[in-house]
Structure 1
């Protein structure tokens, strides 16, 4: 920062000169005071942001942090970025006549493009990134004729990019990324002969091809048009961009082959073409020596990987995943000295892996999964000591795991499942200090389990191997383990009590082994356990009653063991989604809560069990009790006398009621129903039965009908669900009834619909709930008779707590829009555990088997898209979800307005609906790292419904600026 310097007055002569020439001194002083006044006025007009309170009349502007001065002491630059400014830019800023640099990025400035800046005649650098600007870029933007740098990214500009922008002849950087342009970008940009950086990513332009004229931009270093709705082929003219260093065309609809000349560009260091429809073979001749990153994944490329790739001595990232490549990986790629990332997953590659991969470079990521590779895993993968992941699942690799991986402490994941590996695991693999996921299933590994594991290991999958021996007592040190799957091995001995103290264990699968002895009774410590499978072992003794106290256990399989004794009554508290105790030696009565149709397969092959409910096809417990005791003759005589007495009394009563047939009929009908209450009731079954008329019908379906029934004159209602129960009733309906009774009859929670009682007869079953005035959330999202006045904010306020529950529950809303859940038919309690709905089943969940916040954000994004479009989450075919459909529309250049729900697409809501749609898109982005955090999403919504405008989506803390 420059300051005004006045030479020190040392001699009388200089003093005389100064006296004789007072005018220049006074002019400079006046200019400084004038600029101070301008800046203080500017501060006031910007609303006196607290972040620039240091601006005051007692100090000089050139000493202010945000101000840059030239050699003559005049103000040449203002940096007002991230100052919380919410006002429009005032004309006062151009009163600074020497202003060259203006940075007002990362604020909340509203309005259209600030034409007041046209008066800043010396302006060269203008940065307005991430604000609230709207509308088109004006056609007369070329009045800013001195501009060299302009960044308008992360705003809400719309329409076309005007061709007049090509009149800014001195422009070196043009950044217009991440807006809402829905028109065209001009080929006239090619006339900007000095342009070095062009960023147009994340814009929904009309489908456009890359102009051939862009090949004239000889000084262009960076060309970024990711997700810009590009179509057609990559023009050959781009191969003449001799200065090009980075080419990013990711996520468009480009097709055809990759021009050979791209690989001849001497300065090209980064090439990103993944997620297009590019096809054909990769060019064989690669002449450039400067390529650092090359990502051609998710295309339709075929043929082999060119041998010439081994000449790219500066290459750090090579990503060719999800193509149709075949043949072998050239061994020369394993010799590349700078290679850090190697990803060729999901191709048809075969043969042996490069034998010296990792020996000459510091390899960090290695992913060759889902191919046809054979032979052994490369020995030198971690020679550089920085390898983080070895992902080689679903191949035909064989032999032992390289011993060198046992000395690789940088590893955090090894995924070798579904191969032909054998031998013992190197000891150091178990204890690598950074290891998180170790997935070795479906191989022929042998040996015993270790006493110690890496301190942060959370997933250990060893199923379908040949591991043998006992579970060591040292398992108590596996303190961060979440998933332990060792099913279908040769493990033996007793299950150690130490395993019950693992605090985070969620899935424990030890089925198909040779375990014996009792199950530890200290399992009460498994507070996080959700799935326990110990079937097909030789376990014996009684089933510990402590299992009934595990709060989250929903899957329990103890079948095909030697358990004996009675089923603990404490299992009544469990009510699992899947229960299998079959093929044991259990005896006694099946607990009441489990004595129903939902568990009809759970107790088979236990010959000494009995039941009360005949649907389970077990001996009746009361009949067995009767048969086990011989009744005395006096007792029989007493029963006979009582029977005769009751018969006489019945005849007398019958004579009286015959005189009133209707009254008799009503009593007989009422007696046919059995009422079981779960709450304190202020009505009787008679109130309910009398109101099951067509006038009170509010819904119907395959399982029956739903009625709204008034229970008093005060206007209180209940909802009655009638489920048919005739001879044609199928098992699913019976399970649905059982599930709802079991779950809702026992759960007490403010957001679970209260099941007041059930009323049953031979012909049907009635479930009586508290009445939800606003019915289901789905009605508000997808109903055909919705009012446009329904407030989006009202609906959004109930969504987030439901993201995890939406797969298995229907969401109902009370009269004040509070949330209540009720099980759906997807909430299965059958011999098969329920599947995740396609709505929320996304790639990284299947890949990592770990649910994290980014998957929650994806789920929330689907709900936002439902709100914005009015469509249901499974709007596509069996392979396409609503999120896929929305991204297809975005990629095809469909105007966002055409994607919105016509029921509420009115001018006054259009901006809000557009933002909700955009937010839904970014929340469902294919890459988890690109999705915002849930905190950021909620902050966007909070601001959006408390300000006059909703902020632009994902413009958070400037994080996306580096991919514009």
Structure 2
């Protein structure tokens, strides 16, 4: 090698070495710089403990080993910070990570508007901001993030229009906008996203009524279309059948009409089709060739005709849900041979013929619900062969024969409801003892046999009424410890009512009427602390009525008629507050207790010749009088009539004078009107509506509420009048101003809308939107008194809506607002049962967020008042959280807020109940508890416990409360990688624990 060449190579080597050295130094510097940025980011978010390990290190690449950070070539490309309890906003310094391509901030407490600071992240491709508290609109220039491939904004509070610029994000593959508060029309520009595979617009019910945009036919790569609850109208467009890549189609809970397009069931890639809760009609297409279908849900429509026989050819089908339609004909026999079938729900149709005999034979059937049809024949004997069956729900049919013996070996069963059929024979012995059985309803059949000595430890509801059971009630009934409801009317039971029956602590309803029972009632009846209904009528019971019945604290229905009871009615029965009370057709004597001497009990004592009353309002002779009155009839009648006519005329004159004065006074008063919304009515329209007392729909401590038709065409508003001369004017003004200040400046879909206010010298009027379904209190009270049921899905939706309203007040109003009187009567329901917070007369603005304020007097309603509020008069947001927790306990248990038991409020009772280790499932309202909702009800009960902790510092914020509710109630997100974050993660009712 020549010397010049050697020198050249030496110089070249040094140059390369120098370049490598500089590159390494630059890499080290860049790594240290990114590490510093991450630490600053942690500090900006106030050092959440979940990322406490983010600390500066001498190792410049140490941050690349942190589990939340992804690096390529020692440079940060991804941040995965889901569920890290991050608060505040997203700072601009995040984009100083120059190679950042992925940001996942799902399920945190981030607030504010859409973070435009992210526009500086020039390489951003993946953005997940779901399940946070963002508000406002999506920016019109969102297409600045031109490289986005994944955008997830699920479960936030975004409002307004979805901007047209969304259609310019040409790289988008996934777009999720589910569960926000968008309005306006559906964005047809989405049809420009040619690469889109997943589109979620569901649960945005405030979209304007619209059809599926025709531009969507251009989404030829779309695999998932999730548009449930988006206010869709019209027919399902034919072009959907041309979207050949579709795998999941969910258009449920809309107002779609017309027939289901035939071609829809020819899509070979289609796996799931959900069209439930629309207004579709016509027949289900008879030709089904979507060979990949795993789930069909067409329930709650108006579909007619037969179930297509082609359904039996769908080898991958696991769920067939067609309930609440008008389907007729037989169920195809081939359905029983589908090996993956786990869910069959066909109830509420007009189906006839026999059930497929192979149902359950080749598959692990879990749900079998065919009630309210016209089915005949026997129940299939293989239903529980797979050992997974949760329920046999087949009531209201024409089924005959005996129960399959295999049901006696089915320990997975939770419910058996087969009432109102023609079934015969005895109950398989093993069924009574099925380990998990909580409900057995076999009424209105022709079953025979005797009651078993033992039943399942979980059995809480037993209905065997209107059968042919016989024999005595066994003394082992004392072992049925969890029994809550026992219906055994109209059978052939004989013998006495055993004393052991009174040992059931949870018994709330006992019906033994129309049997052949005799003897006296047990003396230990006072131990029935939970009993609400007792019907022993039409037996041969005798002896005296026990005084102890009068001390049953919860009893409100008592029927002992048609027996042979004798002696006097114990005066203690007057302590009862019964809405249904019947002692007729016995041999009772003496005076009835004074509490029953009124017209409400006019028919309660018929056919007891030895009884008397002190008033003619009860259909008994008057005590101490003869049957034939000695009154000088003609003379006295004329005298009484003359007085009556004089009094009537005077009263009419007074009322006419008062009405005329009131009308002139009201209409002539000077009224000051302040509007907060655009209104089409006048002051006169409102005032005229207040004159008719028929319009009065409620009254409270601060005034009366009227329903006023302001147009004459059922265009109603609600008017609250505050006028009470007994209270100082200054106090009235304070209350009036509080409500006006609060409602006049906030607008939220879960807060009642204040349209205007009116003031005169002696009255204050607040005019609100009218809520067609009244208050939650009214519905819960209907449930308690008349059995009208507000089902669990509606209850849960009400809980979520109310939580959203309170969350907005606490976290997004400045200053935040404390309601101070959260209760079921202040949660109003519109025609769709959407919940709205109302009655802000006690609302208090917090001057400094998080700082407790002190008020001069405790206000609120007993049962809902937080203990520290009653004790110290100091308030912060946590007193509303406590009250909301009581509402959650009301919704789940059906109990009243001020009476969990005879000694404690509902919140106190629930806390003790849980701490003592009792089963939560047993505390739930039996009338709404179903297997499919059990986990959710349990979790909401526990959330109620969490909210009603004694120490306010241990209660969650309303933001956390809302997140927990949404986590436990959001429909499965079967489209995206975030599915597990949106599902109810619990598997068993008692698995999720909130420390109490």
Q: Same fold (TM over 0.5)?
A: yes
TM superposition shift of 1:957? 4.0
> How many angstroms apart in 2 are the aligned matches of 1:19 and 1:209?
66
Residue 133 of structure 1 and its aligned partner are, at CA, apart by 1.8
- Provide closer, same or farther for how the CA distance between residues 958 and 610 of structure 1 changes in structure 2, counting only shifts above 3 A: closer
After superposition, residues 301-380 of structure 1 pair within 5 angstroms as 301-380=303-382
- The offset of 1:578, in angstroms, is 2.0
Tell me how many residue pairs correspond in the alignment: 740
Q: Structure 2 vs 1, CA of residues 497 and 935 (structure 1 numbering), >3 Å: closer, same or farther?
A: closer
Determine the structure 2 residue equivalent to 1:381: 383
Which of 458, 461, 470 is 2:460 aligned to?
458
Cα 1:949–1:615 shift into 2, 3 Å: closer
Q: Does 1:40 align with 2:39?
A: yes
Alignment of 1:8-23 (within 5 A): 22-23=21-22
Native 8 Å contact 1:325 1:348 kept in 2: yes
Partner residue, 1:178: 179
Q: CA deviation at 1:616?
A: 3.4
Task: Find the aligned partners of 2:178 and 2:237 in 1 and give their Cα distance.
Answer: 22
* Alpha-carbon contact 2:739-2:839 (below 8 Å) kept: no
* 1:680-691 paired onto structure 2 within 5 Å: none
Partner of 1:131: 132
Q: Tell me the residue number matched to 2:559.
A: 557
How far did 1:66 drift? 5.1
Supply the distance in 1 between the matched residues of 2:21 and 2:798 (Cα, whole angstroms): 73
Q: CA deviation at 1:212?
A: 3.0
The question of whether the paired residues in 2 share the 8 Å contact of 1:435 and 1:456 is answered with: yes
8 Å CA contact 1:366–1:391 kept in 2: the answer is yes
Give distance in 1, aligned partners of 2:436 and 2:214. 49
Q: Is the 8 A contact 1:455 1:478 kept in 2?
A: yes
Q: 1:885 and 2:831 equivalent?
A: yes
Match of 2:746 in 1: none
Of 702, 705, 729, which residue of structure 2 is paired with 1:774? 702
Distance in 2 between the 1:860 and 1:398 partners? Answer: 42
| Unaligned runs of at least 5 residues, structure 1 | 1-13, 625-692, 699-770, 796-825, 827-835, 874-880, 891-895
Cα distance change, pair 177–954 in 1 and its aligned pair in 2 (3 A): farther
Cα distance in 2, alignment partners of residues 317 and 237 from structure 1: 26
- 1:16 Cα offset (Å): 14
Task: Assess if the C-alpha contact under 8 Å between 1:840 and 1:858 holds in 2.
Answer: no
Deviation string 1:31-56 (CA, Å, 9 cap, x unpaired) is 11111222222223333334333222
What corresponds to 2:106 in structure 1? 105
Q: Quick one: structure 1 residues 20 and 779, their matched pair in 2 at CA, closer, same or farther if it must change by over 3 Å?
A: closer
Q: Which residue of 1 aligns with 2:580?
A: 578
Contact 1:471–1:496 under 8 Å retained in 2: yes
Q: Deviation string for 1:74-125 (max 9, x for gaps)?
A: 1111123333333221111111011111112222322222111111111111
Say if 1:575 and 1:150 are closer, same or farther in 2 by CA, change over 3 A: closer
- Calculate the TM-score normalised by the size of structure 1: 0.69
Q: Secondary structure at the match of 2:523?
A: coil
Displacement of 1:347: 0.9
State the alpha-carbon separation in 2 of the partners of residues 852 and 233 from structure 1: 30
> Within 5 Å, which residues of 2 pair with 1:761-910?
774-775=702-703, 782-785=718-721, 789-791=737-739, 883=829, 885-886=831-832
Matched with 1:962 is 972
The match for 2:213 is: 211
SS of the aligned residue for 1:247 comes to: strand
Aligned to 1:54: 53
CA offset at residue 272 of structure 1? 0.5
Q: Which residue is equivalent to 1:490?
A: 492
Alignment pair present for 1:31 and 2:30: yes
RMSD value, Cα: 4.5
Q: Which runs of 5+ in 2 are unaligned?
A: 1-12, 627-653, 660-698, 709-716, 723-734, 744-773, 809-822, 847-876, 893-927, 976-996
Once the two structures are TM-superposed, the CA of residue 792 in structure 1 deviates from its matched residue by 9.5
State whether structure 2 residue 282 is matched by structure 1 residue 283. Answer: no
Cα offset, 1:620, TM superposition = 5.3
User: 1 or 2 for the larger relative contact order (CA 8 Å, sep ≥6)?
Assistant: 1
Q: Specify whether residues 411 and 936 from structure 1 end up closer, same or farther in structure 2 by C-alpha distance, changes over 3 A only.
A: closer
Q: Distance in 2 between matches of 1:209 and 1:430?
A: 52
Q: 1:393 to 1:151 in 2, by over 3 A?
A: same
Hey, what does 2:677 align to over in structure 1?
Answer: none
C-alpha distance in 1 between matches for 2:79 and 2:580: 66
For the residues of structure 2 that align with 1:312 and 1:842, how far apart are their CA atoms?
42
Q: Is the 8 A contact 2:792 2:933 kept in 1?
A: no
Answer yes or no: is the 8 Å Cα contact 1:319–1:341 preserved in 2: yes
Does the CA-based 8 Å contact 1:137-1:161 persist in structure 2?
yes
Moved more, 40-49 or 365-374: 40-49
Cα offset for 1:793? 12
Q: Per-residue CA shift, 1:762-821, capped at 9, x if unaligned?
A: xxxxxxxxx9852468899943446874449999xxxxxxxxxxxxxxxxxxxxxxxxxx
1:457 Cα offset (Å): 0.6
Correspondence for 2:671: none
Deviation of 1:598 after TM superposition, in Å, equals: 3.0
Please list, as runs of the form range in 1=range in 2, the aligned pairs for 1:400-799 lying within 5 A after superposition.
400-613=402-615, 615-616=617-618, 618=620, 621=623, 774-775=702-703, 782-785=718-721, 789-791=737-739
On the 8 A contact 1:154/1:955 being kept in 2, the answer is no
How far residue 492 of structure 1 moved from its aligned partner, in angstroms, is 0.8
Distance of 1:615 and 1:505 partners within structure 2: 34
Contact map agreement 2:603 2:619 (CA 8 A) in 1 = no
Larger Rg: 1
Distance 1:591 1:840, change over 3 A: closer
TM-score (norm 2): 0.67
CA distance in 1, matches of 2:458, 2:704: 42
Mapped contact 1:112–1:134 kept (Cα < 8 A) = yes
| Distance (Å, rounded) in 1 between the aligned partners of 2:92 and 2:805 | 43
Q: Tell me if structure 2 keeps the 8 A contact 1:865–1:883.
A: no
Aligned twin of 2:393:
391
Change (3 A) 1:307 1:116: same
CA offsets per residue over residues 126-160 of structure 1, 9 Å max, x none?
00112222222222212212211110111122222
In the alignment, the residues of structure 2 paired with residue 788 and residue 224 of structure 1 have an alpha-carbon distance, to the nearest angstrom, of: 45
SS in 1 for 2:555: coil
Give 3-state SS (helix, strand or coil) of 2:328's partner: strand
In the alignment, what sits opposite 2:4? none
Residues 955 and 222 of structure 1, relative CA distance in 2, 3 Å threshold: farther
Q: Does structure 2 conserve the Cα–Cα contact (< 8 Å) formed by 1:112 and 1:136?
A: yes
C-alpha displacement at 1:614, in angstroms?
A: 5.0
Q: Call closer, same or farther: CA 1:126–1:951 in 2, change over 3 Å.
A: farther
